[in-house]
Homo-oligomer: A and B are copies of this chain.
Amino acid sequence: MNLDYLKNKRILLVDDEPGLQDMVASILQNEGFTQVRTAGSVREALTAAGTFRPELAILDVMLPDGDGFSLMEVLRKDGDYPVLFLTARGEEEDKFKGFGLGADDYMVKPFLPKELIFRITAILRRTYKSEDPVVSLKYCKIDFERAEALREADPKEPIPLTAKEHAILLTLCRNAGRIVTIDALCEAAWGDNPYGYENSLMAHIRRIREKIEENPSKPESLITVKGLGYKLIVQ
């Protein structure tokens, strides 16, 4: 499983100790995280969050002008991204308070850099799983960034997807497992005035099935739900 796309996630680090701030920031950068922003106080954190729009926050509990918990509550109003708390040793109650308010993890200082990286990666993977540019189907993987289908049985050449195939598959994938109506698929593929393309859609569905299914006439990934639409079964 390739997790490179997680390295581009925006991470906001809030801690008032310059030493720890530098340490964590450099750990993250060494691991390949490219979008790290730091703040030393609640005030700075709020300013940064406004423009930076973090996708993960690492918050110290003790801050000079407030505490991490109330900061989290404010931040969460702008976006439901995960939060990892850092606490000083021996403040058990604090840990539980953080979890109770909806934190995703906490770590006790001092910690091993490696463990921080692992925990961050685990949280990001869970949270942004659906943005993985590669999704696994029963008989192949789809790489949306490259617009390719990769058959697993015979790993020859990747099979290229056309523009319409890509658009249709992406829409199905964003609603993985759920039924997507024919109207919605036409809308996704032809934008405004998506009428009169029902038959064309059907032809595309067939072509997609020939690329992703073992037997395109007995589909197991791209399923027809007669009278309602289609759905994509992802692994």
Contacts and interface: CB of A to CB of B under 8 A. Distances in A.
A177 B227 contact: no
Contact of A147 (B82, B104, B118, B228): B228
Contact of A99 (B122, B163, B164, B179): B122
Contacts of A115: 95-96, 99
A127 interface: yes
A132 interface: yes
A99 B121 contact: yes
Interface string A121-145: 1110111010010000000000001
Question: What is the predominant secondary structure among interface residues of chain A facing chain B?
Answer: mixed
A160 interface: yes
Contact of A163 (B118, B145, B227): B227
Interface string A98-113: 0110111100000010
A226 B162 contact: yes
A65 interface: no
Contacts of A177: 146
A1 interface: yes
Contacts of A96: 114-115, 118
A102 B123 contact: no
B119 A99 contact: yes
Contacts of A103: 122
A80 interface: yes
Given A99-B118, A132-B178, A164-B227, 14 more contacts: A80-B129, A82-B126, A95-B118, A96-B118, A99-B115, A99-B122, A105-B105, A123-B126, A146-B179, A146-B231, A147-B228, A160-B225, A162-B226, A163-B228
Interface of A: 1, 80, 82, 92, 95-96, 99-100, 102-105, 112, 114-115, 118-119, 121-123, 125-127, 129, 132, 145-147, 160, 162-164, 166, 177-179, 225-228, 231, 235
